Amino acid sequence: MLATVWIVVGNVVGVVTGIIGVVIGLLALREAQSAVRDCGRVLARQAVGGAGSAGDLKAIRDVAVFRYDALEEMTGRLSFSVAMMNGLGDGIVLTSINSRSETRTYVRPLRGGKGGQPLSPEEEQAVRAARLGLGPEVEPHFGRR
């Protein structure tokens, strides 16, 4: 009797573990598909001529502005991050945090689309939108899953 109970418990644990594994796998697949779509957009932009042609890789061509409410007491999306990069992903991200009494402005260099220091989530949104060609103004819900 006790052995039968342990077999049933073991089977239930195995089924639950399997379901959790499938869910985690599906979530990972969704993230991977999103990354592949993003890479495809970047490659498509690079393949198109014009301002993004191979002869013009060092000119600023990817620009996006991400506006947001950085402080609870300030609404109206007055704070912002602006990403400006060339075709190689080199450039800057400029961030302005606005409050009632002061404004703080920060600039961070970018190399290959990455910051030398960790970027804030808002700065990352601006960089990602610029690389995907979604600028100049990015909607606040962009990139949220």
Q: Per-residue pLDDT tens for 130-139?
A: 988 887 787 7
Confidence of residue 144 (pLDDT cuts 50, 70, 90): very low
Query: Contact at 8 Å (CB) between 32 and 41?
Result: no
Q: Which domain holds residue 30?
A: 1-47
Query: How many residues does this entry show for the chain?
Result: 145
pLDDT tens for 13-67 read 888 899 999 999 999 988 888 888 877 777 766 665 544 445 567 788 889 999 9
Q: How many domains does the chain have?
A: 2
Instruction: Give Cα separations from 112 to 23, 84, 88, 94, 140 (angstroms).
Output: 33, 12, 6, 16, 24
Cα torsion through 116, 121, 123, 126, rounded to 10: 130
In the beta sheet, which residues pair with residue 29? none
Q: Indicate the pTM of the whole model.
A: 0.60
Q: What percent of the chain has pLDDT over 90?
A: 33
Q: Are residues 23 and 84 in the same domain?
A: no
143 found inside a domain: no
Quick one: pLDDT at residue 51?
Answer: 47
Please tell me whether residues 64 and 24 are part of one structural domain: no
Q: Kindly state whether residue 145 falls inside one of the protein's structural domains.
A: no
pLDDT tens, position by position, 83-118:
999 888 899 999 999 888 889 999 999 998 888 889
Residues 97 and 40 both lie in one domain: no
Average pLDDT score over the chain: 82
- Residue 91 and residue 85 in contact, taking contact as beta carbons nearer than 8 Å: yes
